[in-house]
Amino acid sequence: MFSPMKTYHQLVDFASKYKNIVVALGMFDGLHIGHQKIIRTAAEQANRIHGTTFVFSFTNHPRAIVDSLGAPRRISSEQVSRRILRNLGVDVLVEIPFTPAFADTSPEEFIHLLYRYFSPQYVVVGENYTFGRKGVGTPQLLRGIGRRYTIETIVCASVLYDNVPISSTRIRTYIEQGDITHVNELLGYPFTMIGTVIHGQARGRLLGFPTANIALFEFYEILPNGVYAVTVLYHNHIYSAVANIGNNPTFGSCDRRMEVHIMDFDGDLYGKKILVSFHKRIRSERRFDSVDELISQIKSDKECAERALQETFHLQEKISMVI
């Protein structure tokens, strides 16, 4: 059983509250396996010195401030990210707003800020980590200046996939393509969304396949319209399910949403939060000429989803990262 992870949205005197602090630094959007390596390294080092594992990051993407094109959409929701951080052994998450004033901080000022508020024994970063005004700070600079404050720097090598470093940008490309297999391989866990079940038009129930409807938000990365084999976590139980993302073209357009048919479940989910993990893309969304044709296809989709989930190796182990 994991201890609750504490969260702060402002800088305070952490050094007086926690002992032997080890800080993982970065913008951990998506928490892919490269990010996990950095955070696990910090947690292992904190355990060795009987200390406290911190993650220091930002509530908004720095590109929202420094890039005229704005920030990319987030890969994981705040709720999913916090579950993963907890499961990686993080004791304290510090997320502050990235502001124009913070963007103007020099590398030296940033390192002094680390010393002032955290007084860490170690900081852990990836080899491509940058910091300070215009991102001119490097891990080598952090190591050199940090030693003046008795801060040791651990630099983690990038994790490669097909001989190319894993990155959030690369994962976003796979998400846009609907390539859930590669998305999940680079994340190290199933691409997951948490949503509150809303009222739909009850068409699924009338067709014999009741669905839980979840609204989609454009500030998060969303898979392309289509049908997917998924699992649903509700009340600590994992259910096999099939999900459709789209606009219901057979019945005329509607707001883009996710509809999830949960197998072997009979209950009222309205207003409840469920966690939906994606495992395989079954097909693209399409319009059907008749209701009977649609029902036949839904039956086929359900069978495909059941087979896909049975074939998923160590499914429980993979889902455990976000439970």
In a domain, 110, yes or no: yes
139 and 14: one domain? Answer: yes
- In this structure, how many other beta carbons lie within 10 angstroms of the beta carbon of residue 182? 16
Task: Pick out the chain residues at pLDDT < 50.
Answer: 1, 313
At 1 the pLDDT is 47
Q: Which pTM value belongs to this model?
A: 0.90
Beta bridge partners of 214: 197, 258
Based on C-alpha coordinates, what's the Rg of the chain?
22
pLDDT digits (tens, 9 = 90+) for 200-243: 765 665 566 888 999 888 788 999 999 999 999 999 899 999 99
Pick from 114, 146, 164: which residue ends a domain? 164
* Cα 204 to the center of its chain, rounded Å: 29
156 and 260: one domain? Answer: no
Beta strands in the chain (DSSP E): 6-8, 21-25, 52-58, 92-96, 122-126, 152-156, 160-161, 164-165, 192-198, 212-215, 226-234, 237-246, 257-262, 273-284
Can you give the CATH number for the domain in which 254 is found? 2.40.30.30
CB 123 within 8 A of CB 137: no
DSSP, collapsed to helix, strand or coil, labels residue 230 as: strand
Distance CA 29, CA 92 (A): 17
In a domain, 244, yes or no: yes
Beta bridge partners of 52: 21
Burial class (CB in 10 A: 0-12, 13-18, 19+), 243: buried
Query: Comparing C-alpha atoms, which of 46, 136, 141 is closest to residue 88?
Result: 46
249 and 157: one domain? Answer: no
To the nearest 5 percent, what fractions of the chain are helix, strand and coil?
A: 35, 25, 35
At 91 the pLDDT is 98
pLDDT digits (tens, 9 = 90+) for 118-164: 999 999 999 999 999 999 999 999 999 999 999 999 999 999 999 99
Is 127 labeled as catalytic in the residue annotation?
no
- In this structure, how many other beta carbons lie within 10 angstroms of the beta carbon of residue 28? 26
Catalytic residue among 218, 221, 259, 311: 259
10 and 143: one domain? Answer: yes
Using alpha carbons only, give the angle 184, 209, 177 rounded to the nearest 5 degrees. Answer: 30
Tell me the residue range of the domain where 32 lies. Answer: 6-164
